[in-house]
Chain A
């Protein structure tokens, strides 16, 4: 498919700088193998681990006659995600120019095949890019998988739905998300998007005993299909405008030539934005999210709200802020409008809901608005704010839905505000944990949510969008009201709570080990990042995206001087690669 990109780069414009010099020349010998780009397997390892991990899980489960021992699937998924994170660590080290981690000098290991020069790089005919952004999001998506699968463990047992499907789907969808995060080519991005989406559609419908879940899956699928079509059409438009689907080549093209008529380009922007806005659930493309969040199994919702959004924003940032940064003046107004609408509509509609899952769905729409104000800034500080927000939001939202999972009880149906009444008395620990997440989402100081909002506001103000920052903060206040409603339900509506009537067994909710672990991680991170935001700030500052050409070409191109490696052969020069 990377060769596809190379082939696509042969568009008939004369203005296009051909970035693959060898590839264009027609092969004289019809029997000669089609030139293929070199592959840096180490760079693809995080994707492969997740994808193959999912396949192996399905294989193992079909071989097991008696069913897996309790907790096996969860453990397996956590390990696969952990392995994928481990595979991303050398990439992170390479991007940041580390030569060793702690005492371990890894330069002489087999991923030596990565370009020796420190810094971001690309591979597979520059269809896959490895930079701070992609590695940061690999880590984030894997964390979402780990937290989500820990939540699923007891949920599936409780609902009588044990099986490998949920876990395999989580892994596949994470695989798609990671592809999206690394994609430097719109076609690859689309592949990632579809891999992610199809797995998530099934996840949404995976509660076999609830009709609502089936409905949610179908709704998500049909609407998602629409948005994918928009997205694909947008790619086609951009291909028409620039003659390539590769973001690196596209950026190059746009920086060297000014199209006389940029209608195609602008239509392409708009259509791509529709696709992304649907994936991250920005108003007015949010209509699916309350229904899907309400119907889908709660642990899957936790992943949808964290991992899927992270992947969507990865694509959005890479395509618009990085590749089309030059055209910021054209797309910024659209993102501005999306941000304002998401903020206002999300928070206003959230406060009239009586179902906690729907409330959280709308609140997540308003969070998307907050992240969009950082995207709208289109600056490095904005990207940093996006990453910081995504990272802290992952923990807050997974934690929130983790509590909702437990309170939903058997049947996953007790999500109305009434079901939370008196939770502070019957289950003080659970209520306290939920309060932390709700306050964090409201943006109360000394929580991760506050620092995230702060960075988003800084980015917006720094980019000159002070009005947008004011709108964001006002809608954060409106949104605070909805979190307060839940807190009121938990602590303050209990009229007989003043008399210490004993709590019956039925009212008490047991916190199972795996869910408890997930909640503990989320609480610790939410509060820890709020108290000491330094480390995550530095990490997100390093998550800078960049579109890098593949090394061999850049040497001749004169633009970037990234050295070639010994093992690395220049692609497309009729050399055969394994």
Chain B
């Protein structure tokens, strides 16, 4: 390994062209991080399938290594800088200027860290019922895809990683899932691939049509394409935006494209559900933020009312359908539709608070829903069912389990003091500035969330346990240790989200400024430069640029769009 790293460093040239700043480490942090799980998967593939313990150890170690590198990135990350950090690149296809450019900014940083934390936990939290070798190999490969998506700064490479995540998850659901696993897996694969079909054509069209401004050479480098996207006509860029948006909407999922999600979530094995909900859904919203807003500022503004409407529909619809579910896992799946609706809404509010809240909501949803699925996995291990009708009085026999479940559930509802509140509040505040009535509608969604989760809790945990539930054991030490970091994060982020917001904000500000500059329109943000102190602590807003007044024209237009 010691000889490998310098060789690797030679391949991945450390560049600062994207940031104008020194990248710090003389070591290709991100490529090594992405390749850690890949190495693990290769080792697992070579191990004999009888050595289950070794296989599990390799899987956990490789994902812990990736997670550790993610933490290193977090520690070394320079909070104030808006650009990309730790950028390294290696040429892949010369003639098309396709490069493995990896780099992170404040937005992707936390998604990378989340991936690094959630994967080892999900590996520790569940065991496959059969064929452990394939199970661990596919899970580690899935981690490669997820990390790659969040780090990629090249359209083509982004697409590669975005698409490659399909296969491991398909295999995990189809082979290790529950009852209707084949149906769910195939539906998941076909839906997502259909979205990607449009995205591939969109990416190619974008690169080809935008090349005129870049000296006529085709390039898939995100920065270059952003710089040259102005060459596109308005209609063209709107069409291409729609092409990419379809893929992201399927992945997120946004309301009419969400039908694969409940099936996939319900039938997936625990680790599959955790990572699907925790990380893979973020691929969609992250795509909107990184590729939608930055590449198509005008189209984003144009479609923002539509997207906000779809987000609001998702919040209400997801909540109502979740309330009707008899299966706990399905209920959590529909709650994801609602929560991701918040993310989409915040994103397309196009205000600092909204986008920031949306990013935070992505992280929070990853933590809380991941924790919920882990807890449901523990429950399934004890009772072999997710049906609410068969669960009663768990609180009596497993108080610690019930306690942890309560904390996580309250975070998911968005109770102040826990992480869910901060994200949702920022989203609602941000949306209120731009489209106030939709913020009102979304606020109703918070109430519905309280309704369905508390109702489900009541049915499963309260009352007298019947025969089947009387012997349910409480969490053992191993399980407590696995869930503890997530609970700690839930509380920490609820009480003190400032360090996270401090790092997200410059990146978000940069994206929105880009949108403003390239469309020439002032985004609605009465709080620009105002202090967020009441919410997130002291002196946070000190670095903000001075407040700019509301542009009445822009507001009028948005008001029009609202109607």
Contact = CB atoms under 8 A, between A and B. Distances in A.
Interface of A: 439, 444-446, 450, 454, 457-458, 461-462, 466, 469-470, 473-474, 476-477, 480-481, 484, 487-488, 491-493, 497-500, 532-534, 537-538, 541
A491 B171 contact: yes
Given A445-B159, A457-B204, A477-B197, A534 B164 contact: no
A499 B130 CA distance: 8
B208 interface: yes
B197 A476 contact: yes
B164 A469 contact: no
Contact of B182 (A446, A450, A477, A493): A493
Contacts of B96: 458
Given A498-B129, A534-B94, A492 B175 contact: yes
B167 A488 contact: no
Interface stretch (B188-196, B371-379, B388-396, B540-548): B188-196
A418 to B, nearest CB: 15
B166 A444 contact: yes
B95 interface: yes
A484 B93 contact: no
Given A457-B200, A477-B190, A491 B164 contact: no
B163 interface: yes
Interface of B: 92-96, 129-130, 156, 159-161, 163-164, 166-167, 170-171, 174-175, 181-182, 185-186, 189-190, 193-194, 197-198, 200-201, 204-205, 208
The 9 closest A-B pairs by CB, nearest first: A473-B197, A445-B160, A498-B130, A445-B164, A492-B174, A477-B194, A477-B193, A469-B201, A445-B163
A469 B204 contact: yes
Contacts of B174: 487-488, 491-492
18 contacts: A444-B164, A444-B167, A446-B160, A457-B201, A461-B205, A473-B197, A476-B193, A480-B189, A484-B170, A488-B182, A488-B185, A492-B185, A499-B130, A500-B130, A532-B92, A534-B92, A537-B93, A537-B95
B175 A458 contact: no
Given A484-B189, A491-B174, A474 B204 contact: no
A364 to B, nearest CB: 20
A473 to B, nearest CB: 3
B189 A444 contact: no
Contacts of A532: 92
A454 to B, nearest CB: 7
A466 B201 contact: yes
A425 to B, nearest CB: 9
B130 A497 contact: yes
B198 A473 contact: yes
B66 to A, nearest CB: 19
Contacts of A487: 174
A484 B208 CA distance: 32
Contacts of B194: 474, 477
Contacts of B190: 477, 480-481, 484
Nearest to A531: B92
B186 A481 contact: yes
Given A461-B205, A481-B190, A492-B181, 10 more contacts: A454-B204, A470-B197, A474-B197, A477-B190, A477-B193, A480-B190, A481-B186, A484-B190, A488-B185, A491-B174
A81 to B, nearest CB: 30
B511 to A, nearest CB: 27
Given A457-B200, A480-B189, A537-B93, A439 B208 contact: no
Nearest to B173: A492
A57 B546 CA distance: 87
A520 B4 CA distance: 27
Contacts of A444: 163-164, 166-167
A493 B200 CA distance: 32
Contacts of B129: 498
Which of B159, B161, B163, B204 has the most chain A CB within a 10 Å cutoff?
B204
A372 to B, nearest CB: 17
Nearest to B207: A458
Contacts of A491: 171, 174-175
Nearest to B163: A445
A466 B164 CA distance: 24
A446 B164 contact: yes
A537 B95 CA distance: 8
A439 B167 CA distance: 9
A91 B178 CA distance: 59
Contacts of B186: 481, 484, 488
A480 B193 contact: yes
Which of A444, A445, A487, A499 has the most chain B CB within a 10 Å cutoff?
A445
Contacts of B160: 445-446, 450
B200 A473 contact: yes
A533 B164 CA distance: 17
A385 to B, nearest CB: 12
Given A445-B159, A445-B160, A492 B167 contact: no
B531 to A, nearest CB: 45
A100 B167 CA distance: 45
A151 to B, nearest CB: 26
A458 B164 contact: no
A461 B175 contact: no
B198 A492 contact: no
B93 A533 contact: yes
Which of A466, A469, A541 has the most chain B CB within a 10 Å cutoff?
A466
Given A488-B182, A498-B130, A473 B93 contact: no
Nearest to B193: A477
A444 B161 CA distance: 10
A462 B204 CA distance: 9
A466 B93 contact: no
Contacts of A534: 92-94
Contacts of B198: 470, 473
Nearest to B162: A445
A523 to B, nearest CB: 13
A461 B201 contact: yes
Contacts of B94: 534
Contacts of B205: 461, 466, 469
